[in-house]
Structure 1
Amino acid sequence: MAENEIQLTDFKENGKSGPTEEQREMTEAINEEVVTLTSGDIGHTHEESDGEGGNRAIYALVTCRRSCSETLTEHRAILVKVVKIAFFIGACVYLGFAFHHSFGDKQSLTLLGYAVFSVCYYCISRGIHKYGGTLKQQFGGTEKNSRFSRISRLVYWATVGLLLAALVIYVVIDSAIRRPQNLVSLVGVFVFTGIMLLFSTRPDKWLADRVTDYLEHTNRGAQFVFGYSFTDHYVAFKVLPCIIVFSATISILYYLGAMQVAISVVTAVMRFTLDTGPMETLHAAFNIFVGWAETVPVVKPLIDGMTLSELHAVMTNGFATVSGGTLAAYILYGAPANHLISASFMSAPAALSMSKLFYPENSRRKRTQKAPEIKSTERGIIEAASSGAISAIPVIAYILVHLIAFLSILDFVNDTLAWLGARVGVAPPDYPVLSFQYVSSYLMWPIALLMGVEVADCRHVARMLGIKVFVNEFLAFEDLGIMRANNQIFQNYTQTSANATWHWTQTDDIVLDATGQVLPGGAISERSAIIATYALCGFSDLVALGIMIGAFSAVAPSRRRDFLRVAPRALVSGVAACFLTAAMAGLMVD
């Protein structure tokens, strides 16, 4: 044996017969590494004194490195705690200096909010990790006990009753007394719910600013790739890059476990309040944060065993909600960010409610199955960001091709309608140009009124609803952004000039007489814009119907007939869920 190898007898101590198996493996590993490092390029023989010194140095280096590695592995838990404590102390010191330097302004309160959220998230996640299993063992099987079941139902209905009473009191005090016109939206709530029951298969602002500020950082990446004039192509180079950044952010949050905690909390709340099954409830909560396409792998293993009502609920969830990346695009179109976020959260329980009302569950089987756990497959935060950005590519492709296709088709339809209208005298100057938007503004007018939209704005909002349902929601949000911008210009014009005058054109445009500026399509009030935001926030249009059927048929071909059977009803339920959230918003908003 060479001098640089370790003899197994070196491990023998007084009273011991030989090395242990662990010592034998460690010795062989060290010898192998030393031989590898000392062979080849080193080229010195053992007879050379310089070579002997070099080999001893390498042996010492390898031994030291392995010893450090074993020490770190053995005391890893302690080191992790030390790092966490050091980070906590450092964060406290930083917050102390920051609040001492400045406290009470917007930025300091934002920092305080981040700190409180981080502490709450850590405490909740640690509590679930440490005591979740114990609580599940203690209470997981108690539903079989009839007494416990009766108590649970009593608590459930008491909670529902208290919530309804609180809602009625709030509506009476805040709306009926101060703004009685808001009660029109309450009529809309009952009408949309009643329609679902009638055709049932069984006829029995701060957060918005933070999101907007975060999306502004997309400009740096877009500017580097597309140049300083990237805003000249607003949709392609401004809106779509935000989807990439937002998708990467959500993927990072999944890797860190933050999204799983949020989804589990929302799922628990909805299961308790709506009394729905675990799979469909998890799917609805999942849809709040990501798009329906990303949820298909979650439900794929269970699709074959789902009832028609559960399939209907899953599809309705997809139609009534949008992905986080799409939400970012809506914000850049000009929709109010805070209400978009609220609409995304409200649409999930509304979708489940409308789905179960429109297609109730016939099966009386006990829903004891567990919803699958959502885990991130990435091995690092960089990989999570990369996979999230790459997953946005199909979304961007979907948006691009549909915008190109449907803008072209809509333009053709409008030209055809204008030509047909001109043949019978429906043309300017006596009548406005006949178009799809013009027809929709009358067809959807009653729905806009029932949501609580101001009468003067009903035709404008109805036009957006027609575009959303029959064409594409992106075009509707583009129209909404133009209406909001026009309203801002109109308000500035009327407030800065005492004798400001304006007039309407046959095409619903507003012409500011003093400046000659034309506001295309007119303008709507901020309240009507907020209600429209809730109504438009959903992946529910005729094109989405075909996409949804195709996607689910690809993962479960054996149930294609069932998908074809429930998908049209699910689309109607999804649209109704969006309209229901809009009516609720109209009831509450000033």
Structure 2
Amino acid sequence: MAAEFGAAIQSIVGIAGLVAITWALSEQRRHVSWRVVVAGLLLQFLIAALLLKFPLSQTLFLGLNRVVAAVQSATIAGTSFVFGYVGGGRSPFSITDPAAGFVLAFQALPLVLLMSALSALLYHWRILPLVVKGFSRLLERSLGLGGAVGVSSAANAFVGMVEAPLLIRPYMATMSRGELFVVMTGGMATIAGTMMVLYATFLTGVIADPVGHLLTASLISVPAAVMVAKIMVPDDTRTGGGEAPTAYGSSMDAVVRGTTDGVALLINIIAMLIVLVALVALVNSLLGLFPDLFGAPVTLQRLFGWVMAPIVWLMGIPASEMVAAGALMGTKTVLNELLAYVDLAHLPAGVLSERSRVIMTYGLCGFANFGSLGIMIAGLSAMAPSRRDDIVALGGRSIVSGTLASCLTGAVVGVLL
């Protein structure tokens, strides 16, 4: 009991520390609205408590895990039909090492295609816009957002950093600089629903109810992103919103276009993984020319482990585990969260405690990395060419703000665990 209390106090101190860091990075510290800070923190704790502590939420999570299992099975049915045993079908020969029979590109990643089609279908049936609209109303009333930014921020809990702003494209050109930063931070602090299910497959067996935790992480990170953005770039402007436009002509059109969009996403993921893993291996080979440090080779992961260790400590990670956890956060920031989750899933037993694994699941749940920044700048600039200079200027800060928001989410959960 004493250890749990001490861990919760550490996370509370961490929340104060993360808010202080955010305030120190503010463009106009005197204009920071502390009402927004208090409202943002209260909203994070409220959402976290509702989703983590109530029995009804546990029932919801169990249902979500069954849905994930069904989607996985459906995806394997498609991949095994198209790719045969390479896609998860019956092998024509005996496999001595089952782990070697798993092919990421043909068995796990195609899940993105099905999720992209399902997301488009839910959008066309007006189910997703209805959920987004309800959540946006909560953000508008509690955090003082305009309707347009509220819709985009709420949508970030379910769709990607480019898809969410598409819902408010007509308003992008007239938004204030602060509102634009809220939109960008929301995209960096959350993950898309298409990726959520994929990451849950990697975390199965690592933590309990992975899809429930990832969904909770995205929902908590929405008010965290708004709060962090409003501290770093204070702004009281409220640009109006409206109904989400109808994007598809029919259910079949939604499935076809959703699948087509998923293909582009899938190819991008595979290409980025190949290049990023290769670059890390190349850098580690160069670092291998240096002598061992503290009895182990110098690697990129170890270097970022030291740099990010104080940040993960603020989330509530014990001092004895913060270097290993910091390496995961460094991988997520420099490369991407997918590789970080893969590394988390393959950590040897005992490196991170169960509590630390859950906290890191929340802390890693965001798109804040350099690869995503390129995607965001390209997407938002295409939507609002007149705002390209502002988008580029705020790009680097959005990685910082998105990372801080995700870390705040980890710290909030660390208090409640």
TM range (shorter): 0.7 to 0.9
In structure 1, the partner of 2:19 is 193
CA contact (8 A) 1:280 1:314 kept: yes
1:575 and 2:400 aligned: no
1:178, distance to aligned residue in structure 2 (A): 6.0
- The equivalent of 1:393 in structure 2 is 263
Counterpart position of 2:230: 356
- Find the aligned partners of 1:337 and 1:210 in 2 and give their Cα distance: 10
- Rounded Cα–Cα distance in structure 2 between residues aligned with 1:208 and 1:431: 44
Q: Which has the larger radius of gyration?
A: 1
Corresponding position: 1:224 with 2:81 = yes
Aligned with 1:295 (options 161, 164, 167): 164
Change (3 A) 1:558 1:189: same
Counterparts of 2:78 and 2:217 in 1: how far apart (Å)? 29
- Which amino acid letter does the alignment assign opposite residue 209 of structure 1? N
Residue equivalent to 1:212:
68
2:130 aligns with: 261
> Shift in Å at residue 570 of structure 1?
1.8
Q: Decide which of 210, 235, 254 is 1:384's aligned counterpart.
A: 254
1:207–1:338 CA contact under 8 A, matched in 2: no
The letter for the 1-side match of 2:84 is G
**Amino acid across the alignment from 2:188:** F
Hey, what does 2:340 align to over in structure 1? 476
From 187, 192, 195, give the equivalent of 1:323: 192
Distance 1:207 1:348, change over 3 A: farther
| Preserved CA contact (<8 Å) 1:200 1:359 | yes
Where does residue 114 of structure 2 map in the other structure? 245
Report the equivalent of 1:559: 387
Aligned to 2:109, what secondary structure does the other structure show? helix
Partner secondary structure for residue 433 of structure 1? coil
Partner of 1:337: 211
Tell me, yes or no, if the aligned pair for 1:185 and 1:584 is still in contact at 8 Å: yes
CA–CA separation in structure 2 for the residues paired with 1:333 and 1:286: 24
CA distance in 2, matches of 1:584, 1:230: 39
- Distance of 1:209 and 1:304 partners within structure 2: 40
Deviation, 1:177, is: 9.8
Name the CA shift for 1:362/1:293 in 2 (closer, same or farther; >3 Å). Answer: closer
Measured in 1, the distance between the counterparts of 2:390 and 2:83 equals 46
Return the offset for 1:555.
2.7
* Superimposed CA distance per residue, residues 364-421 of structure 1 (whole angstroms, 9 cap, x where no aligned partner): xxx3x531311433333232222222211121122111101111110000010111x1
1:90-169 equivalences under 5 Å are none
For 2:172 and 2:130, locate their aligned partners in 1 and report how far apart those are by CA, in whole Å.
24
State the match for 1:105 in structure 2: none
* C-alpha deviation, 1:197, in angstroms: 1.0
Out of 179, 182, 185, the position equivalent to 2:5 is 179
State the alpha-carbon separation in 2 of the partners of residues 542 and 208 from structure 1: 31
Deviation at 1:322, TM superposition (A): 1.2
| Mapped contact 1:211–1:337 kept (Cα < 8 A) | no
Query: Which residue identity does 1:409 align to in structure 2?
Result: L
* 1:538 to 2:353 alignment: no
Contact 1:298–1:372 (Cα < 8 Å) also in 2? no
Distance of aligned partners of 1:248 and 1:305 in 2 relative to their CA distance in 1, 3 Å threshold? same
Provide the C-alpha distance between the structure 1 equivalents of 2:328 and 2:260, rounded to a whole number of angstroms.
32
User: Where does residue 96 of structure 2 map in the other structure?
Assistant: none
Query: Do the aligned partners of 1:477 and 1:536 also contact (CA within 8 Å) in 2?
Result: yes
CA distance in 1 between partners of 2:415 and 2:213 (Å): 14
Provide Cα deviations, 1:449-491, integer angstroms capped at 9, x if missing partner: 11111333222211100101112211111101112xx43xxxx
Structure-2 change in CA distance of 1:559 and 1:195 (3 Å): same
Normalised to the residue count of structure 2, the TM-score between the two structures is 0.84
Q: Deviation per CA, 1:143-165: give whole Å up to 9, x if none.
A: xxxxxxxxxxxxxxxxxxxxxxx
Listed as ranges, the matches of 1:406-445 within 5 Å are: 406-419=276-289, 421-422=290-291, 426=292, 431-445=295-309
What is the identity, as a one-letter code, of the residue corresponding to 1:438? Answer: R
Taking the aligned partners of 2:127 and 2:392, their CA distance within structure 1 comes to: 36
283, 298, 321: which one pairs with 2:152?
Answer: 283
Gaps of 5+ in 2: 31-60, 89-100, 205-209
Contact 1:330/1:477, CA 8 A, preserved across alignment? yes
Moved over 3 A (4+): 175-178
> How many Å separate the matches in 1 of 2:4 and 2:316?
15
State the distance in 1 between where 2:260 and 2:23 align.
42
After superposition, the Cα gap between the structure-2 partners of 1:378 and 1:343, relative to the gap in structure 1 and judged at 3 Å, is same
Letter in 1 for 2:19: T
**Is contact 1:288-1:345 (8 Å) kept?**
yes
Kindly provide the amino acid, as one letter, of the partner of residue 587 in structure 1: V
Separation in 2, partners of 1:376, 1:391 = 17
Give the drift of 1:523. 3.4
Q: Provide the residue aligned with 1:463 in structure 2.
A: 327
CA distance in 2, matches of 1:312, 1:282: 14
**How far apart, in 2, do the equivalents of 1:177 and 1:460 lie?**
21
CA displacement at 1:219 relative to structure 2: 1.2
- Secondary structure of the corresponding residue to residue 180 of structure 2: helix
Q: Is the 8 A contact 2:151 2:168 kept in 1?
A: no
Q: Residue 313 of structure 1 corresponds to which residue in structure 2?
A: 182
The one-letter amino acid paired with 2:163 is E
The answer to whether the 8 Å contact 1:334/1:482 transfers is: no
- Identity across matched positions, percent: 31
Q: CA deviation at 1:582?
A: 0.5
Is the Cα–Cα contact under 8 Å of residues 280 and 313 in structure 1 kept in the other structure? Answer: yes
Residues 528, 208 of structure 1: alpha-carbon distance in 2 compared, 3 angstrom cutoff:
farther
Higher relative contact order structure (alpha carbons within 8 Å, sequence separation ≥ 6) = 2
Could you say if the C-alpha distance between residues 211 and 460 of structure 1 is closer, same or farther in structure 2, counting changes exceeding 3 Å? farther
Is 1:549 the counterpart of 2:377? The answer is: yes
Query: In 2, distance between residues paired with 1:541 and 1:194?
Result: 22
1:176 deviation in Å?
Answer: 8.2
The answer to whether the 8 Å contact 2:333/2:369 transfers is yes
User: Which residue, 437, 452, 473 being the options, matches 2:316?
Assistant: 452
In structure 2, what residue type is equivalent to 1:186? I
Aligned residues of 2:167 and 2:245 also touching (Cα < 8 A): no
**Separation in 2, partners of 1:178, 1:461:** 19
The one-letter code matched in structure 2 to 1:337 is: V
